Structure 1
Amino acid sequence: MQQTVTIECLPEMLLGLHMNTKDFADYLKKQAAINLFKEGKLSSGTAAAWLSIERLAFLRLAFEAGATLLEDTADDFTRETALL
């Protein structure tokens, strides 16, 4: 079941951003998905599904926004090399 969240914004904001309400909502949704992923609160798969895009497309967006996709820790190295 999907939920709807309503956010108020001033008309001046939309004019200043050169966006209509749909474009602004899409922008906020994309930014929220990326930031929640960066914070570790959403998986890339869940974020991609929320945005109705492929997971690889979301990972590309997140990377371009500065998200760290892989941590370079000893645990990560051990886990990855165990797969070889």
Structure 2
Amino acid sequence: MIQITVDIPEGSLASLHKDPESFAREMRIAAAIQWYERRELSQERAAELAGLSRLAFVEALGRYGVSPFQVTAVELIREAMDA
């Protein structure tokens, strides 16, 4: 596993009422969700990045208001018409 160091202002952690460990955990989840939503990561890879099981990642998507499906309704219709 690769370890990355990020400098975060102490005031930011204090404002969020987070300790460094919980902040890092939430930052990993938020980043994974963002990249999943932008279709840069698959659900499996995003869950791995977030440090969660796939089921826990899908639950996190719900908490963030992000659909667990990367296919739009229009894409589904097109796929159905092509089948």
Give TM-score, length-normalised by structure 1. 0.77
RMSD: 2.1
Paired residue for 1:27?
26
What amino acid maps onto 2:52 in structure 1? I
Moved more, 2-11 or 47-56: 47-56
Post-superposition offset of 1:33: 0.4
**1:59 paired to 2:46:** no
Whole-angstrom CA distance in 1 between matches of 2:53 and 2:2: 22
Q: 3-state DSSP class of the match of 2:55?
A: helix
Post-superposition offset of 1:47: 1.1
What amino acid maps onto 1:76 in structure 2? L
**1:10 paired to 2:9:** yes
Post-superposition offset of 1:78: 5.3
Q: 3-state DSSP class of the match of 2:73?
A: coil
TM-aligned CA distance change 1:3 to 1:59, over 3 Å: same
Whole-angstrom CA distance in 2 between matches of 1:77 and 1:12: 49
TM-aligned CA distance change 1:60 to 1:80, over 3 Å: farther
Cα deviation per residue 1:10-56 (whole Å; 9 max; x = unaligned)? Answer: 11111111111111111110100000000000111111122332223
Post-superposition offset of 1:60: 2.6
Whole-angstrom CA distance in 2 between matches of 1:35 and 1:57: 16
Amino-acid identity (%): 24
Structure 2, unaligned stretches of length 5 or more? none
